[in-house]
Amino acid sequence: MASDSLVKHISNYRVSSVLNRDVTLLGKQNLFDGSVETCWNSEQGTPQHILVEFAQPVYLRELHVQFQGGFAGSKTRLIDVDCKRDICPLFFEDNNALQTAKLPAAEQNVVRRRIKLQFVSSTDFYGRIIVYSLDFRGSVAGEDTANGETARLKLAEGGETAEPHVTEGTADSQPTGDGKHDADDDSPAPVIVII
């Protein structure tokens, strides 16, 4: 299975906060610009998050992230927003190196549209997160089927095998209690699991 960058397939993304609201220098646009000279810098306090929505369903296999040493996410959750469940916990080192986190094999075959990278804790005393680069790796659903055959689908919630079927889900838009909000888009999105 090919593992290409999915950044060009991102249709929308949000962050929990920006330091001093300086979106020009420290905003979310710096996450995917490919420059090590720019970064997203969160405000202090935990948790912080990055919410990403893809234009079409994707298979997510791994993510690459580069933090500023001293401002890394020490305990991180990768969340499927549409299914409202954790995909897997992630633990990053406190350094400036580009780090790779691979999803468990069973999670690599699940089709996703919206995911959240939630930084539960930070190596910074004040809870700030600084990310220089972020890349999601995997493939677009439909481009991964062998010989044009349609993969059989497994419903995300029911578990039984079925012909292609879409279940609806919405994002959690409840306030976190500190003035930050999770996804504010309440539109339903398809949830499909490939077996």
User: pLDDT digits over 108-159, tens only?
Assistant: 999 999 999 999 999 999 999 999 999 999 999 987 544 333 343 443 444 4
pLDDT above 90 for 161: no
The whole model's pTM is what?
0.74
**Opening angle at CA 165, ends 188 and 11, nearest 5:** 40
Strands (E), 29-109: 40-41, 48-67, 73-80, 85-90, 98-102
Amino acid at 6: L
CA distance 59 to 150: 15
Q: What is the DSSP letter of 103?
A: P
